[in-house]
């Protein structure tokens, strides 16, 4: 699927972008792999790992998804776009709301317009469980972005750019993950959790990258792909990462939920199941159900939430997160 194609990753110097680059270079032979991001230092550091010299397919492009003209320049002769650029720290988005809107919503619009204008074949946008029934600004901006990417299929037409979304939970060890925080706190003998009842979905960086790559190959345009991934209680994670430490309850923070949802009851009415994943299908008139005739319908009232999951991580599996 990715051989001999030109692939661009927005936010390409982040945790996802680095792992995606490593995976793509190891398993495929892209014609070009373009890293689009705004940080010159991170690009310099990434260039040491993945040089752009000689016959390397790597290209590094400094730019911001807020800059429509720069995006347009970068999207020239691009076949596939993986849109991973976002402001994703919940407290930072709450404190800087317009900045979150500028990047996560208006930036999404710029990606859509540039992709259609340049005839990009496929765009896969990365989303989050916080986009479902959002209670914080980050989740609200990602919900808006999801709606925009799905509806963009009606703008591009049957033969134009295909847009889809991958939505998944907390990435183990990514920037802002609670695991490095627990590892740091255990030196003091006290671990802080916001609420002992809290549960979360968890996915490894490798799993997230492989899921996005697989769904980019499978996508027809219009789907939201949701992986079937395990849950864990935050207190179980704290005990696994810092055994013997005191667990201190500091109270839930603004914009936090006790439990996350990857697929709501309302969405499940137009969602289906495949092996290892759920697909939320659009309800727009341009959608053709025959795209996924092999998929299975979900039971009435189904909701995929972190507290009612069928898969739970064991203590041994949780301990591996710290390795």
Q: Is there a catalytic annotation at residue 220?
A: no
C-alpha 260/C-alpha 134 separation (Å) is 10
Contact (Cβ atoms closer than 8 angstroms) between residue 17 and residue 84? yes
C-alpha 47/C-alpha 213 separation (Å) is: 22
Could you tell me if 111 and 65 are in contact, meaning their C-beta atoms sit under 8 angstroms apart?
yes
According to DSSP, residue 222 is labeled S
Closest-CA residue to 36 (of 59, 6, 4): 59
Residue that has been written with the tokens 């137009």 in this structure:
270
C-alpha closest to that of 12 among 203, 291, 212, 250: 212
19, 88, 130, 233: the active-site residue: 130
Residue 82's nearest CA partner among 209, 203, 175, 169 is 209
As a whole number of angstroms, the distance between CA 319 and CA 280 comes to 33
Tally of CB atoms within 10 A around 27:
11
Q: What does the alpha-carbon distance between residue 115 and residue 53 come to, in Å, rounded to a whole number?
A: 27
**Closest to 299 in 3D by CA, of 275, 276, 278, 285:** 278
Pick from 31, 82, 121, 321: which is nearest to 210 by CA? 82
- Catalytic positions, please? 130
């Amino acid at each position: 699927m990715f051989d001999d194609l030109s692939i661009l990753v927005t936010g390409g110097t982040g945790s996802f972008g680095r792992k995606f680059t490593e995976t793509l270079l190891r398993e495929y032979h892209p014609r070009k792999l373009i890293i689009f991001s705004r940080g010159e230092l991170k690009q310099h550091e990434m260039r040491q790992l993945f040089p752009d010299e000689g016959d390397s397919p790597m290209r590094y492009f400094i730019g911001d998804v807020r800059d429509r003209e720069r995006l347009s320049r970068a999207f020239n002769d691009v076949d596939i776009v993986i849109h991973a650029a976002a402001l994703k720290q919940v407290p930072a988005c709450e404190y800087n709301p317009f900045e979150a809107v500028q990047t996560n919503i208006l930036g999404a619009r710029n990606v859509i317009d540039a992709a259609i204008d340049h005839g990009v074949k496929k765009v896969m946008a990365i989303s989050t469980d916080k986009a479902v029934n959002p209670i914080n600004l980050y989740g609200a901006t990602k919900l808006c972005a999801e709606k925009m990417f799905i509806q963009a299929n009606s703008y591009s037409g049957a033969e134009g750019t295909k847009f889809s979304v991958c939505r998944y939970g907390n990435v183990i060890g990514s920037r802002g993950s609670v695991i490095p925080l627990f590892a740091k706190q255990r030196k003091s003998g006290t671990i802080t959790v916001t609420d002992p009842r809290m549960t979360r979905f968890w996915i490894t960086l490798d799993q997230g990258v492989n899921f996005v790559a697989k769904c980019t190959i499978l996508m027809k345009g219009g789907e939201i792909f949701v992986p079937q991934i395990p849950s864990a209680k935050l207190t179980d994670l704290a005990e696994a990462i810092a055994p013997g430490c005191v667990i201190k309850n500091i109270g839930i923070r603004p914009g936090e939920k006790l439990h996350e949802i990857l697929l709501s009851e309302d969405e499940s009415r137009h969602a289906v199941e495949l092996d290892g994943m759920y697909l939320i299908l659009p309800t727009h008139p341009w959608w053709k159900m025959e795209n996924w005739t092999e998929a299975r319908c979900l039971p009435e009232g189904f909701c995929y939430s972190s507290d009612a999951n069928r898969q739970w991580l064991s203590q041994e599996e949780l301990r591996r997160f710290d390795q």
